Structure 1
Amino acid sequence: YTSTNIVFHLSLSRVQSTSPPNCALVNCAYEHCSPVNCACGSYKGSCGCCDVCYKCANEACVILHQHRCEEGTECRLNNPEESISQGAQGTCIRKPSTEGPHGHSHNEK
């Protein structure tokens, strides 16, 4: 291997590991899903077969691993200097409210 081949293979591996799975051959009837007990709700995983827990507010999340935060929160990197593609860790933080002091949205016309 030359150094160019090694870099290409590493790049290809990264693309394959972060790309969504090919669900065309997945039969959910035969999928073995672990039972979940989610404090903040759940959603169907990447092929729509298994339940996956939402991360709760203030819980650790990794965008690269496609972690989803509960409604009203978002995964923010703990260190904005770190790269998402390298698996930088974040925390599920409450999104700022768009409502004014009387319950009206600032976006209303």
Structure 2
Amino acid sequence: MNISDCHFLSDCQQLVYFLNREDITNPPDWRIKPFTQIFANCVTNRQSYLHKIHRSLNSTADSLARQAYSSDTLQFESHCSSVHCGTICSVLQALFNVDLPHVNIIVVSWC
């Protein structure tokens, strides 16, 4: 996408501290490893900054995260926001044809 000088905001001080380090191979919680790796892959070779903001400034995201964390059902909702896909997204079509009986796809992101 050729985006540079990106600023990301988070209300999680531990995450901001971790992602602003040089070495992000060992996250504070192993469950976030896939997400920290995705973030690292997306910002590699780009000028990016991660800033800590107060939770009150991030109330919508905080509310959604709490709802997702407390939810006992996981359901994959498909939506493509790429301007290159038009009306049919080949990535979403491919995902629906993958048979993974013991895996729940929650989110898919690509850069």
Instruction: Give the TM-score normalised by structure 2.
Output: 0.21
Larger strand share, 1 or 2: 1
Greater relative contact order structure (CA < 8 Å, 6+ sep): 2
Which is higher, the Rg of structure 1 or of structure 2? 1
